[in-house]
Amino acid sequence: MKKILFFGLFLCLGMTLKAQYGGEMTIGARLNYTGGGKLVTYDGKIVNLGYTIKGIVSPGYFVTNNIALGADLAYEYMMETGGFFRLYAPRGGVRLYLQGTSGYGWGKSFLKKGHDGKHELWVSTLKPGLWARLKEYLALDISLMSLEYKEVYMRDKVSNKRVTDSRWRYNWLDISFGVVFIIGL
């Protein structure tokens, strides 16, 4: 069922491809690194939460010269899909942008050894970035940080225990590098 849902969302959202100038479509591919930060436990120990590396495909369409709509389809240890809205600075080969993304994710959770679980989340992200058009058909996409709201639902398959977490988080190390292929209409 989830594969059918993901495929259907991919097809529907793929119809609204992300373009960089009015009337153009693009397909972007990004690699994203997010630092997990540190956690202080009740007994005062500092635990490093590690990092996440995620692959993202971003089809979209530029409605006007400064506004793009599209989809982010991501994979890390789980699948994520959602829509995005980008607002670009005025004309130029190198342009700043602000991207808002919101979507749903699902997959496996690794709560502790022998207790794999189901993992679902809803995430909304606000992220500034830089877009540089290199050729008529090619651009680079870079972003360095994000503000994120995440609701996470995990269920342990053995104990059937449900854990819920929701919070705002500013990620200083939310780095994305990508290549964008531009298709003119």
- Regarding predicted confidence, which is higher, 61 or 8? 61
The pTM assigned to this predicted structure is 0.73
pLDDT in tens, 31-46: 988 876 665 666 777 7
Amino acid, single-letter form, for residue 129: G
Q: Which residue, among 118, 126, 26, has the nearest Cα to 78 in the 3D structure?
A: 118
- Regarding predicted confidence, which is higher, 66 or 165? 66
Instruction: Tell me the sheet residues that pair with 141.
Output: 131, 178
Amino acid, single-letter form, for residue 160: N
Question: Residue 5: in which H helix or E strand, if any?
Answer: helix 2-14
Percent of the chain with pLDDT over 90: 37
Amino acid, single-letter form, for residue 75: Y
Question: Residue 101: in which H helix or E strand, if any?
Answer: strand 94-110
Percent of the chain with pLDDT over 70: 77
pLDDT in tens, 122-165: 999 999 999 999 998 999 999 989 999 988 887 777 777 787 87
What was the pLDDT predicted at 11? 40
- Asked if the model's pLDDT at residue 1 lies above 70, the reply is no
Measured between alpha carbons, how far is residue 65 from residues 52, 79, 80 in Å? 33, 31, 28
Phi then psi dihedrals of residue 18, to 5 deg: -80, 115
What was the pLDDT predicted at 153? 83
Q: CA-CA distance, 140 to 29, in Å (whole number)?
A: 10
- Both tokens of 92, joined, read 């130029």
Q: Which of these ranges, 26-40, 43-57, 108-122, 129-143, has the smallest mean pLDDT?
A: 108-122
- Asked if the model's pLDDT at residue 17 lies above 70, the reply is no
Q: What is the largest CA-CA distance in the chain?
A: 60
What was the pLDDT predicted at 102? 94
What was the pLDDT predicted at 163? 76
